[in-house]
Amino acid sequence: MASLSSLPKSISESPCSAIMGSLFDTSFVRQNLSIPGSGFRYAPLKIKGRPCMETKVAPGTLQTTDFSDSVLFDVPILSGSEVMERLKANRENIKGKQLFLAMYSSIFGGITTDPATMVIPMDDHMVHRGHGVFDTAAIMDGYLYELEQHINRFLRSASMAKISLPFDRETIRSILIQTVSASKCRQGSLRYWLSAGPGDFQLSPSGCQQPALYAIVIQDQSPPNWKGVKVFSSSIPIKPPQFAIMKSVNYLPNVLSKMEAEKDGGYAAIWLDDDGYVAEGPNMNVAFVTKEKELLMPSFDKILSGCTARRVLALAEELVKEGKLSGIQVRNVTVEEGKTASEMMLIGSGVLVRPVLQWDEHLIGNGKEGPVAEALLNLILEDMKNGPTAVRVSVPQ
């Protein structure tokens, strides 16, 4: 039977009421808020103009440290112009490898080239509920590569996510092209989103006034790298097919998978589907070349249908004609087939074609970049630069 001391206390005797009456009683803080290993931090505040005590607990101990004279942090209330000044200053202090050259937002109905103003509302359901989809198209020599194919997948994803369109397809296409034109970018990428839109912080999008379209032009200043990489099998569960085939903004499994691989010194992690077949990487497809020189790619029925991967499959027909490949198959691929292949590669709009030299502890082929991966990379680069109008859309400058 529980003792009386273990029963719930009345409100007047609860820790909450004790806190309210003991804000400056350091003995209370030590007795009630010293939790072994919790790393509790009693943050400094001002209450009625008086400083509160700051108490820290060293991890794994019951020790507390008092900082009666600690510096207090007053949160300022800013005007709109002051917010803009701080946004600009913050953006100028960020020294990343990517430049953001232009952004379109249907919220303000235009294009901005000031990175500090490239923001979206917090009450947009894409932000706080993940109710949004996106896609990306590469920019090569002032042309958008496979824009039509990416827009088609973008709209399919929106339909699956039950997001209505703020504009028709041609208007969306025109907005995307105009955004790239305003950026004056000739080498980079265009990323764009459709969301349920802003409105409230509820779960249902019924309070959203209208869906929102955003687009941003990104110029990556990192030099291209085609060297072979190491990959690992992911321990992060793969998305169910219903969500895996949709390019939504719900990328937490993808992020965790990527982080897992990087922690172990790898470039990416490889997912297997529920039946144990090879699926995909965190943001790229995967392909293999068998010892019989056959190009294998996992079926797209449970994973994202990669636009670049499908284009590579079409371009690979040229290697069949040249005798560098004996054939091409899209089917279920076992892990054993993958790890004993002559070549393995990652394929996507970001990596294009990246050779894989090692998967877990298994060397792929001879552990060096293979001839088919190199040939496919050259084919896709040539296609991006001089391909047919079906895959290259000119951007007015």
| 247 counts as catalytic | yes
- Residue in 46, 56, 97, 247 annotated catalytic: 247
Q: For residues 259 and 238, what is the distance between their CA atoms, to the nearest angstrom?
A: 15
CB 269 within 8 A of CB 263: no
Question: What separation in angstroms does the CA of 122 have from each of 130, 201, 261, 361?
Answer: 12, 9, 31, 44
Contacts of 230 (CB under 8 A, 6+ apart): 265, 266, 267, 356, 357, 358, 359
Nearest-angstrom CA–CA distance, 277 and 315: 25
Q: Which two tokens stand for residue 281?
A: 């990487």
Answer whether 346's CB lies under 8 Å from 281's CB. Answer: yes
Residues 342 and 287: beta-carbon distance below 8 Å = no
- At 368 the three-state DSSP class reads coil
What element of type H or E holds 268?
strand 268-270
Structure token digits, residue 319: 């290697």
Q: Give the largest CA-CA distance in the chain.
A: 86
> How far, CA to CA in Å, does 253 sit from each of 59, 61, 161, 236, 377?
30, 35, 18, 7, 28
CB within 8 Å of 287: residues ≥ 6 apart: 295, 296, 297, 309, 312, 344, 345, 347
Residues acting as catalytic residues: 247
